[in-house]
């Protein structure tokens, strides 16, 4: 007969602390107040949107406000990539399609501009770069979390030390 591996168990001290703690269901991080935050680019992943269109899924980390407070967690942003051809399933007409494609190109231009790169840059080179993200709060419309509030990155801009000062609080705007 095979011996089963020992399953993990909390030590008595940790078990007592956990037992006396209010359960947290869902996300462990509190919502950020809407506003601007200094953030570092963590990753850019190419994927398909829920509609099957190409997009980049972007993660930001090391979030700081301008009172030198650091916030736990990450923020997320999806950028839809422009498409060469209007899909047959698009029903709003070519004028609205082109307007939408212009918005997609503009959001990508803002992404590259905010991080100090050009549109022909490899996103791998950009990992670790900092910029300002504008975070909002929205209500999730569908799915298992429908009705819950969540943060959303609404825009990004270049970090300008002259405008924002020393956000890291250490006399060096490059170190936060």
Distance CA 99, CA 77 (A): 21
pLDDT at 20: 81
Distance CA 171, CA 151 (A): 30
Residue by residue, pLDDT tens for the chain (176 residues) are: 667 666 677 778 877 877 887 665 555 568 999 999 999 999 999 999 888 889 999 999 999 998 889 998 999 999 999 998 998 888 899 999 999 999 999 999 999 999 999 999 999 999 999 999 999 999 999 888 888 899 999 999 999 877 766 554 444 554 45
**Residue 103 is encoded by which pair of tokens?**
């918005």
pLDDT at 124: 93
pLDDT at 1: 66
pLDDT at 23: 65
């Amino acid at each position: 007969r095979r011996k089963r591996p020992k399953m993990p168990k909390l030590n008595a001290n940790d078990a007592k602390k956990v037992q006396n703690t209010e359960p947290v269901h869902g996300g462990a991080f509190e919502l950020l107040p809407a506003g601007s935050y200094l953030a570092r680019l963590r990753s850019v992943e190419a994927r398909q949107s829920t509609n099957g269109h190409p997009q980049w899924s972007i993660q930001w980390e090391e979030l700081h406000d301008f009172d030198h407070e650091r916030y736990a967690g990450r923020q997320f942003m999806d950028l839809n990539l422009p498409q060469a051809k209007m899909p047959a399933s698009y029903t709003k007409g070519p004028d609205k399609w082109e307007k939408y494609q212009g918005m997609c190109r503009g959001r990508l231009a803002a992404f590259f501009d905010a991080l100090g790169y050009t549109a022909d840059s490899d996103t791998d080179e950009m990992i670790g770069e900092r910029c300002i993200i504008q975070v909002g709060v929205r209500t999730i419309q569908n799915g298992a979390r429908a009705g819950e509030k969540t943060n959303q990155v609404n825009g990004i801009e270049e970090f300008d030390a002259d405008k924002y000062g020393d956000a890291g609080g250490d006399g060096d705007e490059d170190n936060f």
